[in-house]
Structure 1
Amino acid sequence: ILALFFGIVTVVAFLSGAENSPPAAVALYLTFINFAVGVFNMLPGYPLDGGRVLRAGLWARGRNLLTATRRASMVGTFIAFGLIALGVVSILLGNFIGGAWFIVIGWFLRNVSEASYQQLLFRSTLEGTKVADLVNRSFHAAPPDVSLSALVNEHMLAAGQRCVPIVVAAELLGLVTMRDLKRVPREEWESTSAFRAMTPREKLHGVDAHDDIAAALEIMARENVNQLPVMEFGGFVGFVTRADVLRL
């Protein structure tokens, strides 16, 4: 659309006799740039738009999204190496800047193509997996009145936990994480209770044991946390962590 718009501006400038004016030169340059970007984007290499069209056609033929994505990604990788080779040839012929751009674009396309396929492959691995399949039910809970000093020594260091659930009668009150500890000066750990330092339950991002693990991973990524408390039938049953998911 932008290429068409600037193209019309360029044609109008030429027809009006203003082809040598700075605005006409800028419009001509922008027409060329946007046209080149549009052509590049329609190359049949995933994840470019042309590659997505190719993947849709392959999927319609075989009804297998993973296979269609892999083949479209392979085409994208082939195009990427072609651009890199073109860049090397351009540099050898003396066009250093243009050749360098071809190499950078080719390298970028190759990495994005591979990453897009790996992301889909990872998601297909997670498909059908529930949080309950990966929840870590072995944890050391602490009472709300324990000091931070005791909590660190007896629960975090001794048990190798990065966070400690604060529990009373099987009810989760909150979590004490490394981030919570950093908010309290070290000299105050002995006099500060876990209840005062914890992140309360209502501020936590948790998941149900019967949720899809992909949803849990999405929450961890969005909220930038490494673990989520897992609830089942209203009770706290453990944690699911990024490491648990990546071990699949």
Structure 2
Amino acid sequence: MLGGVARLRSEAPSPGVELRIAGVGPLTSAVLGAAFAGLAVGLDVFGASGLVVEAVGWLAAINIVLAVFNAVPAAPLDGGRLLRAFLWHRTGDAVRATRSASAAGRALGWFMVIAGFAAVLFGADVSGLWPALVGWFLITAATEETRHAELAALLAGLPVRRVMTHGPITVAATKTVAGFLAEGPFGTYRHSAFPVLAPDGAPVGLVTVRLLDRVAPQARASTTIADVMRPLVDVTTAAPDEAVVGLLPRLEASAERRALVLDAGRLVGIVTLADISRAVSWLTATTRPPT
């Protein structure tokens, strides 16, 4: 409803890459706008229906408007990423560049919010709610970009092994659900998610209390953990030496919000968003300048 959004697996590694990623959006819209404009003219020349010409002309106009709007130098618009790439290239500081682009995005967002509500209150134009909604989206997204950039800078160079929980409690794939539940939550199993191991000790999946709760009580004695676990191919995994910054987006997108840490196929730990949050708290406290 609000338009397209670029979904990136990681941040751009350099200003040049950022420039190419950001530039392709407005460029695509501009090319489409020009193509539809040419098609509209051609259809009109050959005597096509006025309704068809109008529809194609509208497509041309809306793509050109989209290209111009997205080129505005304010995050999270593509123009904001272009501004970030330029400032990053000039200063060499990606976080500082992100803060500047995000500040421009918040300024644009607040302008649209105020202008939209002014149109509603003083002009009796209900359509002003639309730019106000888009403006609020820009404010939220720009603020989030700043938060992500500062978080990435804070976690830079930090490997997964430094934040993971070593030697997590595991459960055998052959164990029954009834036997597993009988030992928790005050016995061996005090957590809510557990790596599942095959008889040879190899990790094969992850089981959560939520998955176990879906098993009917009368079937728990005959159902094994392997029957209800999430298989390893569907579980987020990481290497001990992998950067936390690279893992974080995958962790946030995962269903369980946790990852199994594997070293040469052997389970060595588990990492959750809570683990990273604790690391961020400590890093923030130890790196904050004295007041």
TM-score normalized with structure 2 length: 0.69
Deviation at 1:216, TM superposition (A): 3.4
Q: 1:99 aligns with which of 116, 119, 128?
A: 128
Q: Which has the larger radius of gyration?
A: 1
Deviation at 1:156, TM superposition (A): 4.3
| Contact 2:117 2:128 (C-alpha < 8 Å) held by counterparts | yes
Q: 1:108 maps to what in 2? A: 137
Q: What do residues 5-29 of structure 1 show as CA deviations (whole Å, max 9, x unaligned)?
A: 3333455567x49699333333443
| Contact 1:10 1:19 (C-alpha < 8 Å) held by counterparts | no
1:136 matches 2:181: no
Deviation at 1:44, TM superposition (A): 1.0
| Contact 2:169 2:194 (C-alpha < 8 Å) held by counterparts | yes
Note closer, same or farther for the CA distance 1:219–1:98 as it changes in structure 2 (3 Å cut).
Answer: closer
Local SS of the residue matching 1:236 = strand
Q: 1:207 aligns with which of 233, 238, 251?
A: 238
Q: 2:68 aligns with which of 39, 43, 56?
A: 39
| Contact 2:202 2:265 (C-alpha < 8 Å) held by counterparts | no
Q: 1:163 aligns with which of 193, 199, 206?
A: 193
My pick for the range that moved more, 123-132 or 180-189, is 180-189
Cα distance between partner residues in 2 of 1:57 and 1:117: 17
Deviation at 1:31, TM superposition (A): 3.4
- Which amino acid letter does the alignment assign opposite residue 4 of structure 1? A
Q: 2:116 maps to what in 1? A: 87
1:244 matches 2:275: yes
My pick for the range that moved more, 16-25 or 65-74, is 16-25
Q: Which runs of 5+ in 1 are unaligned?
A: none
Deviation at 1:133, TM superposition (A): 0.8
Q: What do residues 185-238 of structure 1 show as CA deviations (whole Å, max 9, x unaligned)?
A: 322333445466555667754322222223433443454233222234654333
1:5 matches 2:49: no
Tell me how large the CA RMSD over aligned residues is: 3.4
Deviation at 1:68, TM superposition (A): 0.4
Cα distance between partner residues in 1 of 2:192 and 2:154: 27
Q: 1:224 maps to what in 2? A: 255
| Contact 2:238 2:262 (C-alpha < 8 Å) held by counterparts | yes
Q: 1:154 aligns with which of 183, 189, 199?
A: 183
- State the identity as a percent: 26
Local SS of the residue matching 1:117 = helix
- Which amino acid letter does the alignment assign opposite residue 76 of structure 1? G
For this pair of structures, how many residues does the alignment match?
A: 247
My pick for the range that moved more, 60-69 or 204-213, is 204-213
Q: 2:98 maps to what in 1? A: 69
Local SS of the residue matching 1:240 = strand
1:55 matches 2:55: no
Local SS of the residue matching 1:171 = coil
Local SS of the residue matching 1:55 = helix
Deviation at 1:106, TM superposition (A): 1.3
Q: How does 1:20-39 map to 2 (within 5 A)?
A: 21-39=50-68
Local SS of the residue matching 1:244 = helix
TM-score normalized with structure 1 length: 0.80
Q: Which runs of 5+ in 2 are unaligned?
A: 1-30, 281-291
Q: 1:178 maps to what in 2? A: 209
